[in-house]
Amino acid sequence: MSMLSRVANSIYWLGRYVERAENTARLINVNSHLLMDLPKRVRLGWAPIIDIFGTNHEFYDHYTEADERSVLRFLTSNLNNPSSILSSLSHARENARTIRDIIPREVGEKINENFIYAREHVNEALTQRGRFEYMRNIITGSQTLTGMLAGTMTHDEGYSFLRMGRNLERADMTTRIIDVRSATLLPTDNEELTPFENIQWVSVLKSMTAYQMYRRAMRLQVRRPDVLRFLFQNRVFPRSVYHASCEVEDCINHLPRSEKSLKTLKSLQKKLLKAKPEELRQEQLHEFIDELQLGLASVNGEITANYF
Amino acid sequence: MAIRWGNYKVKGFHDELLRATGRPRAASKMLCDYMRALKDKEIEDYKAAAELAIHVMGITFRVYSEEEGAIDRAWPFDIIPRIIDKKEWEQVEAGLKQRVKALNLFIDDIYNKQHIIRDGIFPADLLEDSSNFRKECIGIKPPRKVWAHICGSDLVRDDKGTVYVLEDNLRVPSGVSYMLENRQVMKRVFPDLFDDVSILPVDDYPSQLYETLLSISPRRVKDPVVAVLTPGIYNSAYFEHAYLAQQMGAELVEGSDLVVDDDDIVYMRTIEGQTRVDVIYRRIDDLFLDPEVFNPDSMLGVPGLMRAWKAGNVGLANAPGAGVADDKVVYAYVPEIIRYYLKEEPLIANVPTYKCINKDDREYVLGNLDKLVVKPANESGGYGMLIGPQATKEEREQFGRLIKRDPRNYIAQPMLILSTAPTLVGTHVEPRHLDLRPFILSGKDTFVTTGGLTRVALKKGSTVVNSSQGGGSKDTWIVDMEGE
């Protein structure tokens, strides 16, 4: 029996929202680390994060200043921000409710549980001390769901939609996490800051649980071009943009009437592999990331138009 | 305090488990002995285990209140089951089959030749006033002449032990998922009891329902596509819609998932394009089913569904218009309906019913409001009822005025003293009133659930069993005593 469009849409967004909660938590982690590593006088604080999500408008509707507390509130508990941890998990829950007959019961319960945890402990995220524990639990919560779905849900078309949503979201957020460290944030022509450069790339890798895998794959010092190459183009690291795009490709290949979506994805992959990270200076890197995000958005657009 | 059957008061009631204080009925003896041996701590543990199982299984229902809006509540459940001897149940089962068979013949006749009216058994004007009579269905002949494929009939027992049908629900009766889940909870909590007592299983229902639905498929194909049509997640019975779809392996669809083309065929929108649907188990009320024909503002329904059904391209269960027979005034005629179509005497009694539309009956009702229960013809869920003996003088006077204004819309029945069953209050037992809703399936074959959903009024002395108004439920055991 072929899958209802509405159901496919809900599963796809369930995948996206579960992944988004995890990545927002990762992004908060990377910025917290970064702030601790940088010398006080060049710290840029939390304002750039709002930029990176493209949510300036929503933010300044509710807050006057991008101080740590306001930004964290906005990213964790604000329900007007579609990327906040709490809205992501609440949307995941609403999507799951409408497909109760499709996803395993235990998964439905776990989705519920993740939301309840996020809501009840949200104040801990606002304190520096409680933050890491909270983010760690959000990340583990999403990863547990991913594991449960992989291990208990039939790997049929519905599962393809789930994986597709997860990987598109992941690719998008990986580019945003890299963007935190990109040109708009830190002036690299400042000689004084060069010693900090590598340490900061280490923290980016760590925020994506990528440090160990990077060392194994690249066997190199942590240097900007290599880190970029790893996070953009590595074929086997699960959070690299290219890997995520290959996962999407695999999903699309399992779906009917897929020619157009596949073509859009292929052109994105081509752009991705052609890039030479060592040549991407700050400005170009930011532009390149913008281009990738637009490419991902058009894949999303194709899928929506084709199946939902 | 634990459970002491010697302190349990049975006098004045028919109790389902005990013949008299301290004296269990034969079919309940094993259970009563088991319960008596439990310590307070064990009772607490079993209750907690049942609550946990209900929570973990996600068994909820939605209630609406003015203060809080819609909230999901866990299903209130009593761990002491209600027990019926298989021998007695077989008679009830036969009575239910007889009743539903006659009701289906009645509905089919009403929308076609109307013999029963021409023969002077059923008054024509009752039909014109019925809010569940659908003139859009006149002349339609659904497959197998079955209109009410799924019927939920509410049974009660009075203080003499006589079983009555209180009402038939022929539109979109709900509750069967709770019957199935109650059994799952009991199996988790008391696995050892199932070793000792021969309790008949209930879990055939989803496959019988599926078989019933397949049997009304207009297309003779190998795997007809069956869908459960739900109003969506905000409906109070959404849990059940999702549950039944899941158990049958059918699609759970909302109105917006379906489309009827100019070819009068129903399709669902899928990722591969449009796929034909053969049978729809609809859980949306008639009036919201098709905005082309009924309520034009309905967002829940499917434009063109009636066209497709009339053209014989889709099976609808229950058929639109089937509700004409669950009008409470029509209820009063069911014994005549059974005699008329089947030439048989009813096997299960109707509660004696006064029809306010008849002058004599109305005068009796108006003069005896303090002794009677008054019900509006077309409401369900216990709303808009007057329970005379418990009502205030003002409430009775208000109902008197309502009846005079619209006599067609009211019936009255004597206040039955409903049977009781022991129900846990803390760690001891007290009698609480209950009813039973079995489900009857009609398609190619007829099936009756083994028992049904027992609903119990958890408030002391109350007879309102609806979950929206403080009711709970119990597992229902049909126990085979042969060879015991």
Per-residue pLDDT of chain A (308 residues; tens, 9 = 90+): 689 999 999 999 999 999 999 999 998 887 887 788 777 776 778 888 888 787 888 899 889 888 889 999 999 999 889 889 999 999 999 899 888 878 888 898 899 889 989 999 999 998 888 999 999 999 999 999 999 999 999 999 999 999 999 999 999 999 988 887 664 445 555 555 566 777 778 878 888 888 889 888 887 778 888 899 999 999 999 999 999 999 999 999 999 989 999 999 999 999 999 999 888 877 788 889 999 999 999 999 999 999 99
pLDDT grade, residue B482 (50/70/90)? confident
Q: How far apart are CA B312 and CA B319, in angstroms?
A: 12
Q: Would you state the structure tokens that stand for residue A134, as one six-digit string?
A: 């909270």
Q: Would you state the structure tokens that stand for residue A206, as one six-digit string?
A: 């760590």
Q: Taking 70 as the threshold, does the pLDDT of residue B296 lie above it?
A: yes
B241 found inside a domain: yes
Angle between helices A5-37 and A157-180 (to 10 degrees): 20
pLDDT grade, residue B1 (50/70/90)? low
Beta bridge partners of B282: B229
pLDDT number for residue A184? 42
Are B233 and B307 in the same domain?
Answer: yes
Cβ-nearest to B275 among A2, A109, A307:
A2
Q: Which domain holds residue B236?
A: 219-313
Q: How far apart are CA B181 and CA B55, in angstroms?
A: 12
**A and B: number of Cβ contacts within 8 A:** 50
Count of C-beta atoms within a 10 Å radius of residue A247: 19
User: What element of type H or E holds A259?
Assistant: helix A259-274
Q: What is the DSSP letter of A4?
A: B
Last residue of one domain, picked from the residues B392, B414, B436 = B414
pLDDT number for residue B428? 92
Residues of chain A contacting B256 with CB distance shorter than 8 Å: 6
B298 found inside a domain: yes
Which of A5, A251, A306 is most worth mutating to test chain B (most B CB atoms within 10 A of its CB)?
Answer: A5
Report in angstroms the alpha-carbon separations of B137 from B113, B200, B303, B306, B323.
13, 39, 16, 9, 12
Contact assignment for A4 to B245 by CB distance below 8 Å: no
Distance from CA of B309 to the nearest CA of A (A): 22
User: What element of type H or E holds B253?
Assistant: strand B251-253
Q: How far apart are CA B371 and CA B365, in angstroms?
A: 9
**Residue in the block written with tokens 């929308």:** B111
Chain B residues 49-68 within an 8 A CB cutoff of chain A = 56-58
Q: How far apart are CA A273 and CA A267, in angstroms?
A: 10
**Residue in the block written with tokens 């925020």:** A207
**Residue in the block written with tokens 């395993």:** A104
B442 found inside a domain: no
Count of C-beta atoms within a 10 Å radius of residue B377: 24
* Chain B, nearest residue to A308 by Cα: B271
Report in angstroms the alpha-carbon separations of B285 from B89, B290, B294, B309.
31, 10, 10, 16
CA angle B466, B470, B473 (to 5 degrees): 65
User: What element of type H or E holds B167?
Assistant: strand B163-169
Q: How far apart are CA A111 and CA A108, in angstroms?
A: 5
Contact assignment for B58 to A255 by CB distance below 8 Å: no
**Residue in the block written with tokens 């049974």:** B155
Q: What are the tens digits of pLDDT across the range B48-87? A: 989 888 876 667 666 665 554 556 677 789 999 999 999 9
Count of C-beta atoms within a 10 Å radius of residue A214: 23
Distance from CA of B58 to the nearest CA of A (A): 8
Q: What are the tens digits of pLDDT across the range B393-446? A: 999 999 999 999 988 889 999 988 999 999 999 999 999 999 999 999 999 999
Are B307 and B357 in the same domain?
Answer: no
Q: What is the average pLDDT across B245-272?
A: 94
pLDDT number for residue A2? 81
B382 found inside a domain: yes
Quick one: chain A helix, strand, coil %, rounded to 5?
A: 75, 0, 25
Q: What is the average pLDDT across B183-187?
A: 92
Q: Does B225 touch chain A (CB under 8 A)?
A: yes
CA dihedral sign, ordered A291, A293, A298, A299: positive
User: What element of type H or E holds B88?
Assistant: helix B86-111
Cβ pair B158, B419 in contact under 8 A: yes
Contact assignment for B256 to A101 by CB distance below 8 Å: no
pLDDT grade, residue B164 (50/70/90)? very high
B368 found inside a domain: yes
User: What element of type H or E holds A141?
Assistant: helix A128-152
Contact assignment for A3 to B271 by CB distance below 8 Å: yes
Please provide residue B373's backbone torsions phi and psi, each rounded to the nearest 5 degrees. Answer: -105, 125
Contact assignment for B242 to A101 by CB distance below 8 Å: yes
Q: Looking at residue B258, which CATH number applies to its domain?
A: 3.40.50.11290
pLDDT number for residue A195? 67
User: Which of B444, B453, B405, B423 has its CA nearest to residue B179?
Assistant: B453
Report in angstroms the alpha-carbon separations of B112 from A169, B240, B290.
58, 33, 22
Cα B469 to chain centroid, rounded:
16
* Chain B, nearest residue to A98 by Cα: B233
Q: What is the CA radius of gyration of chain B?
A: 23
Please provide residue B395's backbone torsions phi and psi, each rounded to the nearest 5 degrees. Answer: -60, -40
Cβ pair A134, A121 in contact under 8 A: yes
B372 found inside a domain: yes
Report in angstroms the alpha-carbon separations of A180 from A44, A47, A131, A205, B24.
11, 11, 19, 12, 74
Domain count, chain B: 2
Q: Looking at residue B366, which CATH number applies to its domain?
A: 3.30.1490.270
CA angle B114, B164, B126 (to 5 degrees): 30
Cβ pair B109, B116 in contact under 8 A: yes
Distance from CA of B320 to the nearest CA of A (A): 25
Cβ-nearest to B270 among A4, A97, A100:
A4
Cβ pair B280, B317 in contact under 8 A: yes
Cβ pair B436, B453 in contact under 8 A: yes
Are B372 and B288 in the same domain?
Answer: no
Q: How many residues does chain B have?
A: 484
Contact assignment for A307 to B251 by CB distance below 8 Å: no
Q: What is the DSSP letter of A40?
A: G
B178 found inside a domain: no
pLDDT number for residue A183? 44
**Residue in the block written with tokens 């999403």:** A142
Contact assignment for B270 to A109 by CB distance below 8 Å: no
Q: What are the tens digits of pLDDT across the range B337-368? A: 999 999 999 999 999 999 898 899 999 999 99
Q: How far apart are CA B463 and CA B474, in angstroms?
A: 15
**Residue in the block written with tokens 């019927």:** B151
User: Which of B210, B233, B208, B230 has its CA nearest to residue B279?
Assistant: B210
Are B231 and B305 in the same domain?
Answer: yes
**DSSP-derived pairing of the beta strands B266-270 and B273-276:** antiparallel
Are B250 and B301 in the same domain?
Answer: yes
List residues in chain A touching B: CB distance below 8 A.
1-6, 8, 94, 97-98, 100-101, 105, 108-109, 157, 255-257, 307
Cβ pair B226, B278 in contact under 8 A: yes
Q: What are the tens digits of pLDDT across the range B7-37? A: 999 989 999 999 999 999 999 999 999 999 9
Residues of chain B contacting A257 with CB distance shorter than 8 Å: 272-273
Mean per-residue pLDDT of chain B:
91
Q: How far apart are CA B193 and CA B179, in angstroms?
A: 18
Q: What is the DSSP letter of B75?
A: P
B247 found inside a domain: yes
**Residue in the block written with tokens 């109760």:** A100
The answer for B304, left when phi > 0, alpha when psi is -120 to 50, beta otherwise, is: left
Last residue of one domain, picked from the residues B313, B341, B361 = B313
ipTM of this predicted complex?
A: 0.74
Last residue of one domain, picked from the residues B380, B414, B448 = B414
Q: How far apart are CA A198 and CA A194, in angstroms?
A: 8
**Residue in the block written with tokens 């699960």:** A238
Q: How far apart are CA B363 and CA A124, in angstroms?
A: 69
Beta-carbon contacts of A65 under 8 Å, excluding residues fewer than 6 positions away, are none
Q: Would you state the structure tokens that stand for residue B305, as one six-digit string?
A: 């569904």
Beta bridge partners of B228: B252, B281
User: What element of type H or E holds B102?
Assistant: helix B86-111
Distance from CA of A100 to the nearest CA of B (A): 6
Cβ-nearest to B269 among A5, A97, A105:
A5
Beta-carbon contacts of B257 under 8 Å, excluding residues fewer than 6 positions away, are A4, A5, A6, B268, B269
